[in-house]
Structure 1
Amino acid sequence: MTPPSADTVNPDRFGAKQPDAAYGAFQRGLYKTAYNLAMERAKNGDPAAETLVAEILSRGLGVPLNPAEAAKWYGLAAEQGVPEAQFQYALMLLDGRYVKKDEKGAFALMQASAEAGNRLAQFNFAQLLVQQDPGDDGLVKAAVYYERAAATGLADAQYAMAQLYANGAGGKPHDDAQARILLTQAARQNYDTAQIDLAAWMIEGRGGERDLKSGFAWIRRAAQGGNVAAQNRLAKLYMGGIGTDPDLILAGAWYIVARRAGLIDPQMDDFLQGLDDDQTKQALQKANRLP
């Protein structure tokens, strides 16, 4: 999981007692200084400083990348109840590369971090609950944590909740309108799977009014972001003139882009072969200029 960039890190992530000057240096990009200042306090058992040292080491900011050493400091901070450290150390325990794999310990730490309000831990704990019990009982338990994380604006959790409402699962009623709202929230954060689903729902009129132009716009956004499935679907929308004017050249171009990425669609292969030489040439030229 990608950590937040240094300039957007909330100091509360490092525990109630912030490492003051060390954190200030970290925010200004003075990572080596931050590391040295935090290390002095970390050696004295300051959990916030331990977490900051671990973060710097885990990302190689101003110091050599050292995940194994980061794991040690995350572990110490996790023992003192820092939610961010609990979350990061739980991930390491699940992974088992830098510490001995311990799924039971990871489960406990992930739950503790989730209960403390760490939204990434809430989402990941929900995932663990589903893995532990793939049936509806597991989804009911997971929904509590998906919902908490979704309320904070986490796109992964918003998409998960959309799926629960769309399927009437996890103790949630079947509610396409609510699912569409959640898909929209996730899509606006560039969650490409949500963008693709939302586009399909808008084109079908599921969960709200039919809106071909907006559906087309969401597929195009996902395609421009590099989603191969969206690129293929965008080609089909251009081919059929759905939500936009028909454009055989752009249809061919977007399918060429998707095909270069490894997607094969027999219907679109037939379409591409049906273009004349001039259209094929134009489609190739446009494909070479697309993302």
Structure 2
Amino acid sequence: MKRRANPFRHQLSIGPDVPTRSVLAAVFLAIIACHAPSQAAAQGTAAPAAGSKDAAAAGKSQGPSKADLAYGAFQRGYYLTAVKLAEPLANLGDPAAQTLLGEIYSRGLGVRRDMKEAARWFKAAATAGNPEAQFRYAMILLDGTVVEKDEAQARDLMQAAADRGLPLAEYNFGQMLIEASPSGGFKDAAGYFEKAASAGVAEAQYAMSQLFANGRGVPRDLDRARAFLHASALNGFSIAQIEYGIWLINGKGGPARLKEGFLFLKHAAVLGNPIAVNRVAHLYKDGIGTEPDLAEAAKWAVLAKRMKNSDPVLDDFFRGLDAAAQKAALEAANRIRSG
């Protein structure tokens, strides 16, 4: 399934320290909602003692339903069993079972991957109001490969899922608001982004950092921008890791923390991000956040050059090394490349 492009690629830049990059919206697999606990558990009623008559009666009246069994089988990896249990319920109109089948067919879990079949079940569950299915079917409608593309219907379904509190839908609907109104959509989008950010969606946390950093839809507040950037970086979003590392080194939005900034950038560089590779070469060269290490600087400078993200300062630095140091740097870079 295609990923939704982040509208910030036009409206917001990462800032003067980092070149503007297109940030892809994460389209994760929908979270399969577990069935609610039994009524007694939900109300806090004590369970009958094992072996009692009440326990035996409770076992007959409150045993796991077929839907519970289907979800349990899915969670344990028994996908064919999950399909067998879910299909009768789905055919009777159970939206949770329909969503479960959509998930299984969309991922090809124990069955041949079949996006048309997945779309059929997601559509049925979405029509019944299941927020996970509304989100998934909205993404299918936007993609337009399996079914006819329908952006208007996708927007309605995405909003419905967002208003039901599904974090990924909140984030994606926020993007839709900005795409629909690049000049005025930020204020409405901020509310949805913030809810998704609070639920731990890394891209939404990054989006909030950009809104606060640039004063778009919210008052400009670098402290809050840095806090959201930190959350997104800890959540593994690579662009946030790079930018947060640079903010720490430059003391933007709070005190400078050079060593921590270096570690964030080094982590992203090891994962192969060209921007981070370039910055780590400079940090080793200048001894910022780490001890000066010309051999490491040269190695990362070689990698930056190979990634077409070098600069005149790094090029001059490398040319100024003696032949032995240049050879060692090339060999070290090759070891990283082969590893």
- State the partner residue of 1:243: 289
Alignment of 1:116 onto 2:139: no
**Structure 1 length as normaliser, TM-score?**
0.92
Counterpart of 1:11, as a letter, is: C
Aligned-partner Cα distance in 2 for 1:95–1:150: 25
Q: Contact 1:12–1:18 (CA<8 Å) still a contact in 2?
A: no
Deviation by residue 1:155-175 (Cα, 9 ceiling, x = unmatched)? 1111111111111111x1111
Per the alignment, residue 50 of structure 2 pairs with none
Q: TM-score, normalised by structure 2?
A: 0.80
Kindly report the root-mean-square deviation, in angstroms, between the aligned alpha carbons of the 2 structures: 1.9
- Counterpart contact for 1:18–1:49, Cα < 8 Å: no
Q: Which has the higher contact order (CA 8 A, sep 6+)?
A: 2
Please state how far the C-alpha of 1:270 moved relative to its aligned partner. Answer: 2.6
In structure 2, the residue matched to 1:82 is: 130
2:145 to 69, 94, 97: 97
Unaligned stretches of 5+ in structure 2?
A: 1-25, 37-64
Please tell me whether the aligned partners of residues 32 and 100 of structure 2 are also in contact (alpha carbons under 8 angstroms).
no
Identical-residue share of aligned pairs (%): 49
The answer to whether structure 1 residue 140 and structure 2 residue 187 are counterparts is yes
Q: 1: CA distance between counterparts of 2:303 and 2:112?
A: 38
Q: Which runs of 4+ in 1 moved over 4 A?
A: none
Letter in 2 for 1:3: F
2:250 counterpart residue number: 204
More helix by share: 1
Q: Counterparts of 1:156 and 1:30 in 2: how far apart (Å)?
A: 32
Which residue of 1 is the match for residue 232 of structure 2?
A: 186
Structure 1 spans left out of the alignment, 5+ residues: none
- For the pair shown, the structure with the greater C-alpha radius of gyration is 2
1:54-102 deviation line (CA, Å, top 9, x unaligned) = 0001011111111111111100000000000000000011110001100
Question: Structure 2: which amino acid aligns with 1:101?
Answer: K
CA distance in structure 2 between the aligned counterparts of 1:124 and 1:258, rounded to whole angstroms: 33
CA apart distance, 1:18: 8.4
- The one-character-per-residue Cα deviations of 1:208-243 (angstroms, maximum 9, x if unpaired) are 111111111111111122212111111111111111
Alignment of 1:158 with 2:205, yes or no, is yes
- Please, which of 45, 48, 67 is the counterpart of residue 19 of structure 1? 67
**Change over 3 Å in CA distance of 1:277–1:134 after alignment to 2:** same
Which residue identity is paired with 2:256? R
Change (3 A) 1:4 1:104: closer
Task: Write the distance in 1 (CA, Å) between the matches of 2:335 and 2:278.
Answer: 16
Change (3 A) 1:106 1:28: same
- Looking at structure 2, the residues matched to 78 and 239 of structure 1 have their Cα atoms a distance apart, in angstroms, of 55
Give the length in aligned residue pairs.
Answer: 284
Which one-letter code corresponds to 1:274 in the other structure? G
CA contact (8 A) 1:74 1:85 kept: yes
Residue 41 of structure 1 and its aligned partner are, at CA, apart by 1.4
Quick one: distance in 1 between partners of 2:276 and 2:66?
Answer: 44
